Amino acid sequence: MAMRGNDAKARKAAHRGVVRFVFKIDAFTPATIPMARLGEYMTALAWFLGEIDAVHFSKVTPGSTRVSMLAEREAAPKIRARAEAVRTGTAPRDVMDQYRTINKMLRDDKGTGRFGEEKQRGKILAFPGRNETLSKPLTVRQQGTFDGELIRVGGTDKTSHVMLVSEDQRQSEFETDRAMAKRLGKHLYEYVRLHGRGTWQRDVDGEWSLVKFKIDDFDPLDDAPLSSAIADLRTLADQWGDEAVQLVKFDRDGKEPTKNGVG
């Protein structure tokens, strides 16, 4: 019995100075939430709280799924301030994005969530989840350009489809007519700049995506490395004499060009 008493005292001492926070998910109980999904919630919550090394998982309690965590003393005020900034809408964009990620997870699970200190009834940060009033998707159509490596041109109907690789991402929302496709086909596996009219859509979470892009024209691009382009510019600069500089000044200021620096 003495050993058990000592163990209890040791646990109490270890927890002294820490603050217990709780995240409640009403869509599941501990018996029904898949372990992988619980792990996703805990990972998203860790990034949202921002104090990765100073917040520790404690337990999951019955009823709705209640994830209990312990925050070290120095981290607790930062977590409170972060939650308050989200509640008032003054948090940085990345923090609001993390909040929206958790809220979307709850919405997908048809649940809601609440976060706060275990012994504080007020100061609760709510995650509306399924109860959130969603705005309708916003669609915008406007002229635009896209740069990338042309890796596919084709199609069996009158509309030809085009695929680019840009920043290691494949994009296949481009289309054009057969005449333009024939011209583009001569530049397969080369870098091009596509000009045209695009349709972009913003979803309920504020993310923009390209729906369709109708190609009107294109420009071949030089895929030479940046160092080569800089070297070319330096060579061009060496070819400029005093007279060329004076002509540029005249064009800009309206002053007559001089010879050998004499007006």
**Residue-wise pLDDT tens digits, 40-89:** 999 999 999 988 888 999 899 887 899 999 999 899 999 999 999 999 98
The structure's pTM equals 0.54
pLDDT at 1: 42
79 and 186 assigned to the same domain: no
How many independent structural domains does the chain possess? 3
* Strands in 11-112 per DSSP E: 19-25, 55-61, 65-71
**Looking at the domain assignment, is residue 2 inside a domain?**
no
Q: Are 186 and 216 within one domain?
A: yes
User: What pLDDT shows up at residue 233?
Assistant: 62
Say if 7 falls within a structural domain.
no
Residue range 205-222: mean pLDDT, rounded: 88
From the CB of residue 97, how many other CB atoms can be counted at a distance below 10 Å?
15
Residue from 194, 196, 129, 205 nearest 165 by CA: 194
Say what the pLDDT of residue 18 is: 85
pLDDT of 156-191, one tens digit each? 788 899 999 988 888 889 999 999 999 999 999 999
Q: Can you tell me which residue has the tokens 């019955």?
A: 62
User: Is 10 contained in some domain?
Assistant: no
* Shared domain check, 163 and 82: no
Read off the pLDDT of each residue in 202-223 and give the average, rounded to a whole number: 85
Expressed as residue numbers, the domain containing 253 is 227-263
- Can you tell me the distance from the alpha carbon of 249 to that of 200, in angstroms, rounded to the nearest whole number? 44
4-18, 24-38, 193-207: the lowest-pLDDT one: 4-18
**Dihedral sign from CA coordinates of 207, 211, 214, 219:** positive
Inform me whether the pLDDT recorded for 127 exceeds 90: yes
The residue count of the chain comes to 263
Same domain, 196 and 154: yes
CATH of the domain at 206: 2.40.50.140
Q: Is residue 2 very low, low, confident or very high in pLDDT (cuts 50, 70, 90)?
A: very low
40: left (phi over 0), alpha (psi -120 to 50) or beta: alpha
Q: Are residues 50 and 109 in the same domain?
A: yes
Q: Tokens for 170?
A: 């494949």
> E-assigned strands of 85-190?
113-117, 125-127, 138-154, 159-166, 169-177
Check whether residue 184 and residue 241 sit in a common domain: no
Angle in degrees, CA 34, 37, 41, rounded to 5:
135
> Within a domain: residue 256?
yes
